[in-house]
Structure 1
Amino acid sequence: MHALRAVFAPTCSPFREKPFLLERLMLIESGSPVAADTRVGISLTINGQHRELQVAPWTTLLDLLRETLDLTGTKKGCDHGQCGACTVLVDGVRVNSCLALAVMKDGAEVTTVEGLAGLSNGGAGSNGLHPMQAAFVEHDAFQCGYCTPGQLCSSVGMMNEGHAHSRDEIREAMSGNICRCGAYTNIVDAIEDVMAQDGAAQDLGAAR
């Protein structure tokens, strides 16, 4: 009964700025009728493209990406935030998009696997891929590929966090992304490769 009230507290910044969002969510929680055609205007930058969108207040970021914007690289797996297949980057931070309401990301910058190459320093490589994507190919870090978009976004987000420096730390930091094919060793190899390249690039920059 009070789950939404606890999660979407008025102190959360989106509701301080746009209290009508909380009001509409509370209507959903209370069971009061909400018109099926209710829409909320939000603004997102998705893979570098600014978008003005009208969404139902209960629309998840995952459903907005897949169903409305046809960005189907982001996968719907468990729909409970447990498998990581839906991971995207929101303002550079990895997020399970199946658990995020689109209205709560108003004004954010969202990167999906389709826009990942544009995040690399200097843009995509000669093969058009982000270094992490290229490393996944090089190390055969995917099999069926269903979890791969989430694995890629999560690994880039993990590198942004800067907390993982060993194989064990990488495994721990990536533990929220499940690979049912069992390509974990190759995934860690790929991430280690990119981290080593990134470290070498930083060392070179410091030397200059």
Structure 2
Amino acid sequence: MRFNEIFGMSSVAIIVLLMITIIIFKSKLNIILLSQINNTDINIKLNITYLFKLINIDMQLYPRKKKKKKANKEKSPKNKSKGGHNKVSLKDIDSIFQLIKNIEIEEFYSNIEFGNENIGFTTFIYLLINTIYGHLINMINPNKIYLKVLPNFTEDYIKGNIKVHIKLSFKIIYKIIITTYKIYKKTKHKEDGKNESTWFNKKSYGDNA
């Protein structure tokens, strides 16, 4: 009887663990970027939610909260790396671009109003924003999209509300981590092995002729 109870409890624990694993793999990481512009007043916030909002993080990206100034301490000079940084190859850039293309964009919302008494300048900015909108439509394929721009030729101001909602599956997150690590490892390997000739002792040991 005791063995049956232990076996039953183990089965329940395995089922619960399996359900939790499935929920974690099926859940998507929601990243929402909100930007509000009112002339020189700019506010940018980031919201990250996961596991049905059990994880809910709000961050103020701009303006940043002022931190208390600490007493100035003498800083020791940092050792600068002699070797230059290795450039990322075109293949690496392409792999990153392919990952970005696979990211699911749930919503892209942009509502911009601006004005300037200079008619030529206002027209140019209006055409520029519409051109950017056109390129965005061709590059991304969001489930929801709202793009609006309203010019004003009699007043000087700018207002805007922009929202970008991205959903990342566990598979995409895994691919991003692996791709980033591979690129970092490859560039780091090149940086470490750049001066391999200096690793060997070039001192002569007698006449080798």
With the shorter chain as reference, the TM-score category is: under 0.3
Larger radius of gyration: 2
TM-score by length of 1: 0.26
Normalized per residue, the structure richer in helix is 1
Normalized per residue, the structure richer in strand is 2
Higher RCO, 1 vs 2 (CA within 8 Å, ≥6 residues apart): 2
